[in-house]
Amino acid sequence: MTRGGKGMLSIGALSAATGVPVETIRSWERRYGFPVAERKPSGHRVYALDTVARLRLISDALGRGHRAAEVVAASESALESLLAALPKTPSASKASSSGAAASAPVGAEEHFTAIRSFDAEHLKRSFQVDWARLGPLRFVQDRAAPFLHSLGEAWSAGTLDVRHEHFASACLGDFLRTVRIPMDDRATGPVMALATLPGELHGMGLQMSAVVCAAAGWRALMLGTDTPIVQIAALAREAPVAAVAISCAAPRRRQTAEQLRTLKRRLPRGVSLLVGGTGAPTAVSATGVVVMPDLVTLDRWLNEQAA
C-alpha cells in the first residue's frame, strides 16, 4: 500500500512488523503523539513505513528497562544514540528476540526472589516492561491476573507467607493505579462505578477492571471494598452512573447472587449491573445482572456500549 510515494501500513500490519501490540500503539499515539496516523480516503488510519524502524528501537529500549515516557517521544537518532551507549544485557537480548520476555511465565522464580527480598523496584520494572509490550487489556488479563493467581498458589503451598503476598499485591495495586490515572484524566465516556459487596475485602479485581474501563474511554468511579448495597444504590442515584461493576473473589455464590438481586432492584432504571471475578455466581443473568467471565469480555461490552 502506498500513498504520496510512501509505504503505508495498517495498525495491524505495523503491530506485526514491530511486535508492539495494537492497544499499545494506540495508547502511545494518544499519550505521546507517536506514531502518527494518516487517513486514507476511506477514513481508515494508516502509518508510514518508516515508523517501523523507530518502533523497533523503542521496543529495544523498553526491553533494557527504560520507561515509555522516556523513549516513545524520542527521535530515531536519539534512540540510536541511547542504545549505542548501553551494552546489551542477556535479559535485553531475550526480550528483543521473538517476544520472549512477553511470553515468560508469570510468577517465575526471579519474581518470587524479588518478593521474598521485598524488592519493589524489581517488580515495578517488570510490570513497566510488560505494560509497554502488552498494552492495558493484555497486561491485566495475561499478566496481572495470573500474577495474583500465582501468589495465591504460593501462599497455599507455603512457599510465600502472608507478608510476601500482601507486599506483592500492594506493588501491583500501586502500579495499576499509577498507569490508570493518565487514562482516567483523558476519559470522556460513560461513568462506571466499581465496588465489592459487603464482606468482600479483595480489591485487586476492582483495580484491574478500572484499568480496562479507563482504556476503553470510560470514567472509573471507585467505591472500594466491603461497600453496603444501600450506598452503592445511593451513588447510582446521585451520580451520572451508566453502569455498576461488582468484583467477587470470595466463593459465596448463593449469598452473592441474593445480594446482586437486591442491588439490581435498588438501582435506577437504565443502570447496568455487571459482575465478575473468581467468586462470581453464574446463574443471575436472568435477573438483569450481566456476568463477565473475564476482562476481555468486559472490554468488549464497554466498547459495544460506548459505540
List of residues 6+ apart from 143 with CB closer than 8 A: 106, 127, 130, 131, 134
User: Helix, strand, coil shares of the chain as percentages rounded to 5?
Assistant: 55, 15, 30
3-class DSSP assignment, residue 12: helix
Can you give the pLDDT at residue 274? 94
What pLDDT band is residue 3 in, cutting at 50, 70 and 90? very low
Which of 228-237, 266-275, 280-289 shows the lowest per-residue confidence on average (mean pLDDT)? 280-289
CB 290 within 8 A of CB 272: yes
Burial of 93 (0-12, 13-18, 19+ CB in 10 A): middle
What pLDDT band is residue 88 in, cutting at 50, 70 and 90? low
Same domain for 284 and 207?
yes
Distance from C-alpha of 133 to C-alpha of 247, rounded to nearest angstrom: 27
Question: 292: part of which helix (H) or strand (E)?
Answer: strand 289-292
- Considering the chain, what is the average pLDDT of its residues? 82
What pLDDT band is residue 95 in, cutting at 50, 70 and 90? very low
Distance from C-alpha of 143 to C-alpha of 298, rounded to nearest angstrom: 17
What pLDDT band is residue 168 in, cutting at 50, 70 and 90? very high
Can you give the pLDDT at residue 246? 94
Same domain for 287 and 218?
yes
Distance from C-alpha of 67 to C-alpha of 80, rounded to nearest angstrom: 16
Same domain for 176 and 192?
no
Among residues 70, 101, 132, the one where a domain terminates is 101
Same domain for 127 and 72?
no
Residue predicted with more confidence, 138 or 156: 138
Same domain for 71 and 170?
no
Same domain for 168 and 195?
no
Same domain for 194 and 294?
yes
Distance from C-alpha of 281 to C-alpha of 263, rounded to nearest angstrom: 14
Question: 57: part of which helix (H) or strand (E)?
Answer: helix 51-63
Query: Is residue 197 over pLDDT 50?
Result: yes
Burial of 75 (0-12, 13-18, 19+ CB in 10 A): exposed
Q: What is the 3-state secondary structure (H, E, C) of 88-127?
A: CCHHHHHHCCCCCCCCCCCCCHHHHHHHHCCCHHHHHHHH
Instruction: Give the count of domains, the chain.
Output: 3
Can you give the pLDDT at residue 140? 92
DSSP codes of every residue in 186-202: H--S-EEEEE--TT---
Same domain for 205 and 116?
no
Same domain for 96 and 108?
no
Can you give the pLDDT at residue 16? 80
Residue predicted with more confidence, 97 or 218: 218
Which of 19-23, 88-92, 189-193 shows the lowest per-residue confidence on average (mean pLDDT)? 88-92
Same domain for 300 and 195?
yes
The per-residue pLDDT for range 101-139, each reduced to its tens digit, is: 333 344 456 678 889 899 999 899 889 888 888 888 889
Question: 131: part of which helix (H) or strand (E)?
Answer: helix 120-139
Distance from C-alpha of 264 to C-alpha of 256, rounded to nearest angstrom: 12
Can you give the pLDDT at residue 285? 54
| CATH number of domain containing 78 | 1.10.1660.10
Q: Which residue has the cell 522516556?
A: 70
Which of 72-81, 97-106, 138-147 shows the lowest per-residue confidence on average (mean pLDDT)? 97-106
* Segments forming the whole domain that contains residue 127: 104-186
Query: Is residue 270 over pLDDT 80?
Result: yes
Can you give the pLDDT at residue 213? 93
Mean pLDDT for 3-16 is 72
Which of 70-74, 97-101, 122-126, 262-266 shows the lowest per-residue confidence on average (mean pLDDT)? 97-101
| CATH number of domain containing 272 | 3.40.50.280
Provide the 8-state DSSP code for 172: H
Query: Is residue 52 over pLDDT 60?
Result: yes
3-class DSSP assignment, residue 223: strand
CA angle 100, 114, 151 (to 5 degrees): 80
Same domain for 120 and 167?
yes
Same domain for 79 and 51?
yes
Among residues 101, 127, 152, the one where a domain terminates is 101
Among residues 51, 78, 101, the one where a domain terminates is 101
Can you give the pLDDT at residue 238? 95
List of residues 6+ apart from 187 with CB closer than 8 A: 213, 214, 217, 218, 219, 220
Which of 18-22, 100-104, 242-246 shows the lowest per-residue confidence on average (mean pLDDT)? 100-104
